[in-house]
């Protein structure tokens, strides 16, 4: 057997990995043993993984996945509760949204930002299409997310505002990109690195809704910035994996100063009386959209492992 080489997974097709060895890209099939101890994980290998391969094998195999610096997971789908690891080993995530066309989705942003906080991946909100913002919505959105501890950049690919700042954020780093179709991700990347020649418009949406739906990410170099980007297409709803209701509270950090004043020390801010978080939402001190996202995620989350349900009074003898 030849010497094992180390490489980085650029993408996965069915069960074949494209592994970048630095001087060349090879196709390699994951060893069967990697699928044996999955314990609720759908995919043993993901984009961005550092792997060891035997380049002389026939076929070439991925023998080992090296320990990850970080990763981002979600629930695979509404029919499949397993953990799907979307990518690994990134320096940051840029969450793209547009002020208009399409309208900014707080729910979409809040889900991915909560996941990034949970997985300790630094995230920045890129608020694009500010050239269309006649009502000054961008300022309000920026204020909401800054209060939540998220960096925000207002941009317009149309006028060029903020584009250099996005490029500087990406310089020398591996950056995951996330955002709804149509918000301007491809346009932004083409402006930053025209050689990428990404398709702009509604083509991707057409494919995303057809039979060719892909939830696979892919890793691309941007040599001019000494950077890499991870593209994450085709995610309609991002469901947090394995975050319980108690952990969820910490993923909305702007609630914390108010939560200290809730009547119940373990207040979930969902139904309790004298809830200072709910009061702050009603008085406009906390964002009603963020709170709505929290309630939805709370509904989807499991209780903490030590949770003991209240005895139902009418079940008592
Ligand atoms: N007005 C305006 N339109 C933009 C801006 N950025 C992108 N677009 C347009 O929005 C549409 C979708 O852009 P695209 O880059 O394909 O979005 P993606 O799906 O996120 O990759 C295209 O028609 C772009 O020309 C912007 O800053 N302002
Ligand atoms: Mg695109
Ligand atoms: Zn409360």
- A 10 A CB-CB count for 211 gives 5
Ligand 2 geometric centre to CA of 182 (Å): 7
What pLDDT does residue 311 have?
A: 60
Confidence label for 99 from pLDDT (cuts 50, 70 and 90): very high
* C-alpha span between 242 and 42 (Å, rounded): 14
pLDDT digits (tens, 9 = 90+) for 178-212: 999 999 999 999 999 888 777 777 544 443 443 34
Q: What is the pLDDT of residues 58-67, one digit of tens each?
A: 889 999 999 9
Ligand 1 nearest-atom number relative to CA 203: 16
* Pocket test residue of 154, 160, 178, 182 for ligand 1, highest count of atoms within 8 A of CB: 182
Average confidence (pLDDT) over 285-311: 92
Find the ligand nearest to 261 CA.
Answer: 3
Sequential DSSP letters for 253-301: GGGHHHHTTSSSTT--SSS-SS-HHHHHHHTTSS-HHHHHHHHHHHHHS
Of 4-8, 101-105, 158-162, 235-239, the range with the lowest mean pLDDT is 235-239
CATH 3.30.465.10 fits 245-300, yes or no: no
Structure tokens at 291: 């709170």
Which three-class secondary structure state does DSSP give residue 126?
Answer: strand
How do the domains of the chain map onto residue ranges? 5-67, 86-231, 245-300
Q: What is the mean pLDDT of residues 226-237?
A: 88
The residue-averaged pLDDT of 286-310 equals 93
Cα 115 to middle of ligand 1, angstroms: 25
Assigned superfamily of 5-67: Nucleic acid-binding proteins (2.40.50.140)
* Mutation choice for ligand 1 from 130, 157, 206, CB with most ligand atoms inside 8 A: 157
Question: If you measure from the C-alpha of residue 220 to the centroid of ligand 2, how many angstroms do you get, rounded to a whole number?
Answer: 14
* Higher local confidence (pLDDT), 35 or 184: 184
Measuring from atom 22 of ligand 1, which residue has the nearest CA? 201
pLDDT band at 50 (very low <50, low <70, confident <90, very high): very high
Tell me how far the alpha carbon of residue 56 lies from the centroid of ligand 2, in angstroms.
Answer: 37
pLDDT higher than threshold 70 for residue 139: yes
Q: Which ligand neighbours the alpha carbon of 271 most closely?
A: 3
Beta-ladder partners of 229: 175, 220
What is the CATH architecture assignment of 86-231? 3-Layer(aba) Sandwich (3.40)
Contact present, 177 and 96 (Cβ < 8 Å): yes
Least confident of 36-50, 154-168, 262-276: 36-50
Q: Which residue has better confidence, 99 or 193?
A: 99
Amino acid 213: pLDDT: 42
Q: What is the pLDDT of residue 94?
A: 98
What is the per-residue burial (b if ≥16 Cβ within 10 Å, else e) of 75-111? bbeeeeeebbbbbbbbbbbbbbbbbbeeebbbebbbb
Is 234's pLDDT higher than 80? no
What does each C-alpha distance from 192 to 104, 140, 164, 169, 202 come to in angstroms?
23, 27, 8, 12, 20
Strand order in the sheet with 123-128: 151-154, 123-128, 92-98, 174-179, 227-231, 218-222
Res 14 pLDDT > 90: no
The mean pLDDT value for 6-22 works out to 92
Nearest ligand to the C-alpha of residue 154? 1
Q: Whose alpha carbon is nearest atom 6 of ligand 1? A: 184
Ligand 1 neighbours by CB, cut-off 6 Å: 128-129, 131-132, 156-158, 179, 181-187, 200-201, 204
Judged by its nearest atom, the ligand closest to the C-alpha of residue 277 is: 3
Q: For position 313, what pLDDT does the model report?
A: 59
| Angle (CA) 182 186 213, round 5° | 65
Ligand 1 nearest atom to the CA of residue 128, by list position = 27
State the chain's mean pLDDT as an integer: 91
């Amino acid at each position: 057997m030849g010497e094992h080489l180390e490489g980085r997974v650029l993408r996965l097709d069915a069960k074949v990995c494209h592994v970048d060895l630095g001087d060349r890209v090879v196709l390699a099939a994951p060893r069967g043993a990697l699928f044996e101890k999955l314990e609720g994980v759908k995919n043993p290998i993901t984009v961005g993984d550092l792997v060891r391969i035997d380049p002389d094998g026939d076929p070439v195999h991925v023998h080992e996945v090296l320990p990850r610096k970080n990763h981002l997971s979600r629930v695979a789908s509404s029919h499949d509760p397993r953990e799907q690891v979307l990518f690994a080993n990134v320096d940051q995530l840029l969450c793209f949204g547009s002020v208009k066309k399409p309208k900014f989705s707080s729910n979409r942003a809040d889900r991915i930002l909560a996941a990034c906080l949970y997985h300790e991946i630094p995230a920045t909100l890129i608020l694009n299409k500010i050239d269309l913002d006649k009502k000054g919505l961008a300022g309000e959105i920026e204020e909401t997310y800054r209060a939540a501890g998220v960096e925000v950049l207002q941009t317009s690919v149309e006028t060029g505002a903020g584009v250099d700042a996005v490029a500087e954020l990406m310089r020398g780093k591996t950056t995951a990109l996330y955002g709804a179709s149509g918000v301007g991700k491809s346009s932004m990347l083409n402006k930053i690195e025209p050689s990428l020649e990404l398709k702009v418009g509604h083509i991707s949406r057409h494919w995303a809704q057809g039979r060719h739906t892909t939830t696979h990410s892919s890793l691309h170099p941007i040599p001019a910035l000494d950077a890499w980007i991870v593209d994450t297409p085709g995610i309609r709803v991002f469901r947090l994996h394995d975050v319980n209701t108690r952990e969820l509270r910490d993923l909305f950090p702007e609630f914390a100063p108010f939560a200290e004043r809730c009547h119940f020390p373990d207040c979930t801010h969902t139904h309790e009386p004298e809830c200072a978080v709910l009061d702050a939402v009603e008085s406009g001190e906390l964002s009603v959209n963020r709170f709505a996202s929290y309630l939805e995620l709370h509904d989807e989350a499991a209780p903490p492992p030590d949770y003991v349900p209240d005895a139902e009074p009418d079940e008592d003898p």
